[in-house]
Structure 1
Amino acid sequence: MDAIEQSMAVDRGLVGPGDRYRFWRAERHDALECLSATFSNHRYARHTHETFVVGVILEGCETYYLRGEQKYARAGDLCFVNPGEVHDGEPYGASFTYRMTYPSETLIREIAQDVLGGEEASGQPYFREPLVRDPEGYAAFMRAHGRLERDEDAFGGEEALVEAYALLLKRNGDWRGTPVEGGRAPEAVRLARDYLETHFDGTVDLAELAAVAGLSRYHLIRVFRRHLGLTPHAYLTDVRVRAAQERLRRGDAAADVAAACGFADQSHLTRAFKARIGVPPAAFARR
């Protein structure tokens, strides 16, 4: 699990002089992606994840849009984002330091079935509140994240993370439907979304997309944003970045990934990727 050196990152123009991070994967947890970072300059664009986001704020304050409100996550806070929820993020003040994990729906469901139980165990688990104060849960997550980063004892790290997620789900999880507006999108938005998800690797024309949805271009933009929290273009960029993640995980070269996923060039891929994932493609691809 190689980490990108800060000096190397700055030399390459990958992060600002006040930003530093380490990205790695814990293969025992369904290739769980992990991030430890301090950001003073980086700003996340609005985006979504197919995974959950579970993490903690160590120092400073991060502000971000989520569930229609501006949130402020401060040192000591636990943070949760459910799959498909639109969010962004930036420093509120000088900087913020955080540790994050991106567990798959499969991993969270497996743990939730044991912890939450009940007849609804075949449904979709989710975290009720995006921000909570829970010193015990915070400490459990920090212990697990630290063990995974040190990578000294794979079994110990695996055990610690499962126990941490179990505790967090027990206190903050439920089986009610995930609170994402996209689930109530009208047929026109569904048609447009499906089109973007199947044509992301080529040129997408707004007039053609509007025709698929049966709406005018302006009406489509308004309805799409109202129901999904993103414009069609922002949603398309999200889809392309997710496709790029999958190819990078397989070891494809960044230039090839850019061409295959509909980006104009590798620089376009890098800008869009870092704005949503927090690290550039080269750091994401390292194992």
Structure 2
Amino acid sequence: MSRTTPVEHINYWRHPSLSGIELSQAEFTHFSFDKHVHLDYHLGVVTQGAQQFINKGSHYQLGQHGLSTLNPDETHDGQSRDAEGYRVKVMSIPVDFMNAISQEMGQATHFFNAPIVDDPALYQYFIQLHNLLTQGQCTELEAESHLLNFMQLLLTRHPAGILKLGQDQGLSSQQLKLIKQKIHDEPWQNTQLEGLANEVNLSKFQFLRQFKQATGMTPHAYLKRVRLELAKKSLTHGTLVVDVAQQLGFFDQSHLNKAFKQAFLLSPVQFQRRML
């Protein structure tokens, strides 16, 4: 029997013993992710159908048996490859957590060379781990043991690469770092294009073009996404929605609600109820 209505559904979880780690499971048919970034590492698998996305200008397809390995602050989008849609399981790993594991293993700060690794064994292990953590029927010892074992296997089989910025990036790596740091440090500010351009001694037009060339996003889209990612973290810690909106520079709670739902398919209140 053919599906008559599109399915767009997402659920979020947080295991009580794994602070900062966010789990989600979704089914999408027509929903499409605009270009965006994350503050954390995002690992994910597709369990039905396939997802296609663009990462740093290259096209990829994530099907069954592949593991998505997206670095923080890496611009990408996402949509279903086929009309039937796809199902996906995702785990968000905080940077501090990843760095701690890397250091324990004697590795440098981790950077995945590619947004997908073809590793059927890790694919199956990730599904088992995700199910274990979202079903909420495991002890703290069991949860931490399986997570750390999975991360050790992942970082051993796919060790850290070297971050290489293209020569035609427009902004230098130092300039880009400066601008991004300013946005991350002061997300609540009513940031002006001219102010950002002045930071790197460029005209507004030059800065806009070069920032988009370097990141794949406009400064406004980048700032908006950083605010939304930070909103998720604040909501996870129980901050009231109205306070989150005020603290992160949204016009009001309604403005946050609209942007949040557009990005994550849930309202801030719905997300918070799932995470607390």
Same fold (TM over 0.5): yes
Amino acid at match of 1:48: V
Give the partner amino acid of 2:116: L
Q: Does 1:163 align with 2:153?
A: no
Contact 2:129–2:147 (8 Å) recurs in 1: yes
Please say if residues 51 and 83 of structure 1, whose CA atoms lie closer than 8 Å, have aligned partners that are also in contact.
yes
Aligned mates of 1:158, 1:255 — CA distance in 2 = 34
Q: Is the contact between residue 46 and residue 62 of structure 2 (CA under 8 Å) also seen in structure 1?
A: yes
Whether 1:241 aligns to 2:228 is yes
- Paired residues of 2:50 and 2:80 also in contact (CA < 8 A): yes
Q: 1:37 & 1:135 partners in 2: Cα distance? A: 21
Shift of 1:158: 2.4
1:83 corresponds to 2:72:
yes
User: Who is 2:85 aligned against?
Assistant: 95
1:126 partner SS: coil
- My pick for the range that moved more, 19-28 or 189-198, is 189-198
String of CA shifts for 1:97-148, please: whole Å, max 9, x gaps. Answer: 0111011122223333445x3xxx3x21122222122221111111111110
C-alpha displacement of 1:190: 4.2
Structure 1 position 276, deviation (Å): 4.2
Residue matched to 1:66:
55
* Correspondence for 2:172: 185
The CA deviation at 1:198 is 4.0
What SS is found at the alignment partner of 1:28? coil
Letter in 1 for 2:62: A
Distance 2:182 2:130 in 1: 38
1:221 aligns with 2:208: yes
Of residues 79, 101, 107, the one that matches 2:97 is 107
Q: How many angstroms does 1:191 deviate by?
A: 4.3
Three-state SS of the structure 1 residue aligned to 2:198 is helix
Q: Which letter maps to 2:79?
A: E
* Aligned pair partner of 1:145 in 120, 124, 130: 130
- The equivalent position to 1:30 in structure 2, one of 16, 19, 30, is 19
Give yes or no for contact 1:23–1:33 (8 Å, CA) kept in 2: yes
Q: What is the CA-CA distance between 1:207 and the residue it aligns to?
A: 2.7
> Which runs of no fewer than 5 residues in structure 2 stay unpaired?
none
Aligned amino acid, residue 91 of structure 1: S
Q: How many Å apart are 1:78 and its aligned residue?
A: 1.0
- Mark the CA change 1:157 to 1:180 in structure 2 (over 3 Å): closer, same or farther: farther
CA distance in 1 between partners of 2:37 and 2:65 (Å) = 24
Instruction: Provide the identity percentage.
Output: 28
Partner of 2:87, secondary structure, is strand
Which is further off, 134-143 or 22-31? 22-31
| Alpha-carbon distance change, 64 to 270 in structure 1, aligned in 2, over 3 angstroms | farther
Spell out, residue by residue over 1:144-175, the C-alpha distance to the aligned partner (whole angstroms, 9 max, x if none): 1111011111232322222222212211222x
**The residue matched to 2:212 in structure 1 has which SS?**
helix
- 1:269 corresponds in structure 2 to 256
* Contact 2:14/2:22 (<8 A) preserved: yes
Retained in 1: the 8 A contact 2:241–2:253? yes
Match of 1:172 in 2: 158
1:60, distance to aligned residue in structure 2 (A): 0.8
Which residue in the other structure is 2:270 paired with? 283
Q: Separation in 2 of the partners of 1:89 and 1:269?
A: 22
Conserved? CA contact 2:39–2:72, under 8 Å: yes
Moved more, 53-62 or 190-199: 190-199
Aligned with 1:44 (options 33, 43, 51): 33
TM-score (structure 1 length as normaliser): 0.82
2:8 is matched with which residue?
A: 19
Structure-2-length-normalised TM-score: 0.85
> Is the contact made by 1:151 and 1:157 (CA closer than 8 Å) also made in structure 2?
no
**2:239 match:** 252
8 Å CA contact 1:127, 1:169 repeated in 2: no
> Corresponding residue for 1:55?
44
RMSD over aligned Cα, in angstroms?
Answer: 2.4
What SS is found at the alignment partner of 2:49?
strand
Query: Are 1:44 and 1:275, in contact at CA under 8 Å, matched by a contact in 2?
Result: no
